[in-house]
Amino acid sequence: MRPLPKLRPVEAFPIEHGGQRVFMVHDPTGLADGPITVSPPAMYILLTLDGRKDLDDIREAFAQQFGQEVPEQQLEDLVSQLDAAHYLDSEAFAEHYRALVEAYRNGTARVCRDLSAYGIEESIPSGDGEVGAALKAVIGQMLGACQASVVGGNGRRLVGLIAPHLDYARGAPCYADAYGVLAAAKPTGRVVILGTNHFGRATSVVATSKDFQTPLGTTRTDRAFLDALAARCGADLTAHEFDHVREHSVELQVMILQHLWGAGNFEIVPALCHDPCGPTGTAPYDGQGVDLRQFAEALGELIRADDTPTLIVAGADLSHVGRRFGDDRELTPKFLSDVERKDRGAVDEVVAGRGDEFVRALAARDNSTRVCSAGCIYALRTALDGAQGELLRYHQAVDEPSGTCVTCCAAAFWDDGETER
C-alpha cells in the first residue's frame, strides 16, 4: 500500500467550540483554502501524516493511541478532504501551486489582498477610494507621533532605515520614528526594500519584478536595476518570486512610502533575505541561490556606481518571545529586560557598522530570542558599509492575553561623505 501524502507545515491552536475542545488548523502560507476545525482524534491523524505511513499504519497507530479502530472509509474521507483543501504535500497541491505561480508570473503587479497586517480591517468601509483614504488616515496618525531626536540629516544624506514589519498598531512607535526621519529628508528616486521571507520556499535571496499595487496606488519596480543586480550576483533572483505574494514585510514599507511621496514618484527594488544565523552562515543551506554577503556587496557596489539617489529600507522585527513562540514562561519584567539587553547588544553592532558581529552574536546564542530579520538587517548594513548608524528607538510590543512579545527598532544610516543630491 502506498504511503499517504505528508501534511504540509501548519499552525494549530486549541479552541472551545460548542462546549467541546477542538483544534483550529490553518496554513500560515495562505496556500490552503482556509482554516479548518478538527477534533483531537482527527488532529492526531493529521500529525501522523508524515509521508511514510500508509492507511494501515495510521489505523494501527490510532488504535494503539485511542484503544479503538478508525474505519478505513472514514480515514480515506478525511485524507481526501485535506487534500482537496490543499493541506497535503501531494501532486494535487503541486498542480495547485504551479497554477498560482503561473498566474502571478503572467500578471503585471503584486496586488495587496490582505489588510489585516495594518490593524484597520474593521474600520475600512467598502470601495477602493474609501479604503485608500482610511489607510492614509491610519498612516498619517501613526507618523504624527514621531519622537525621534534626529529629524533631518544636517547636511548628511539618508541612505538607510530599519523599520518594523509588525502590524502598524503594534509597531507604531518605531514606524513613526523611522519614517519621521524620512519625512524630513528629500524624496529619493529608488528605494531598495529588504524584507523577511516568513513562509516562502526560497532558501536564498528572492526578489520580484512585479510592481506593487496597494489601495494607495501602484509603485513601479526598477527592473533595470534588478536585472543589473542579478547579473552581478550571477543568479536568478526571481526564481521563487511567488514568495512575495503572501509576504507583508515589504508591503508595509511600500504603503508608508506611497503615503509620504505618492505611489508614482519613486521606484522600488523588493527583495526578501534568508537567515544567516544557521550553520551555513550567509550561504543558503541547500546551496541553491546567491550567498547573502555576495548579494549585499553587489547591491552596495551598484548603488554607489549609480546616479539615482537610492535608499535602503530593512523591514525588520527583532525578538519573538512568549508562549506562542515556544517559551514556557511568563513575560516578567526581568525576562523582558533580559530580552531588551540582548536586542540592544545585537543592534549596537549593526549601528556601529559590524554586521558580521551582529550575526555572530545571534548565532552564538542559537538566536534564542528568535530574531526573525537578521538577514535583511545584515544585508542593509553590509551594503551600506561605512555609513554612520543611529538607533532612534527600541520598542517591545507585549500582548498580555497571549503572553507574547515581539520587539523592534527604528534606526537611520547616513552618508557623511556626500550631501543630499
Using the predicted structure, report yes or no on whether residue 152 has a pLDDT greater than 70: no
The full set of domain ranges for the chain reads: 6-104, 115-415
Using the predicted structure, report yes or no on whether residue 419 has a pLDDT greater than 70: no
C-alpha span between 357 and 63 (Å, rounded):
52
C-alpha span between 14 and 4 (Å, rounded):
25
For the domain covering 115-415, report its CATH number: 3.40.830.10
3-state secondary structure of 82: helix
Q: Tell me, rounded to whole angstroms, the distance of Cα 195 from its chain centroid.
A: 6
C-alpha span between 240 and 412 (Å, rounded):
30
| pTM, 2 dp | 0.90
pLDDT tens, position by position, 38-80: 999 999 999 999 999 999 999 999 999 999 999 999 999 999 9
Determine contact, residues 379/295, Cβ cutoff 8 Å: yes
Beta bridge partners of 16: 21
Task: State how beta strands 388-399 and 267-273 pair.
Answer: unpaired
C-alpha span between 229 and 238 (Å, rounded):
11
Instruction: Choose among 164, 165, 163, 370: nearest CA to 249.
Output: 165
C-alpha span between 202 and 185 (Å, rounded):
35
The whole-number pLDDT of residue 408 equals 98
Architecture of domain 6-104: Alpha-Beta Complex (3.90)
Which residue carries 470601495 as its cell?
127
Span 90-117, average pLDDT = 91
- For CA atoms 10, 14, 16, 18, the dihedral sign is positive
Determine contact, residues 165/195, Cβ cutoff 8 Å: yes
337 or 34: which leads in pLDDT: 337
C-alpha span between 221 and 116 (Å, rounded):
24
Beta bridge partners of 22: 15
Confidence of residue 128 (pLDDT cuts 50, 70, 90): low
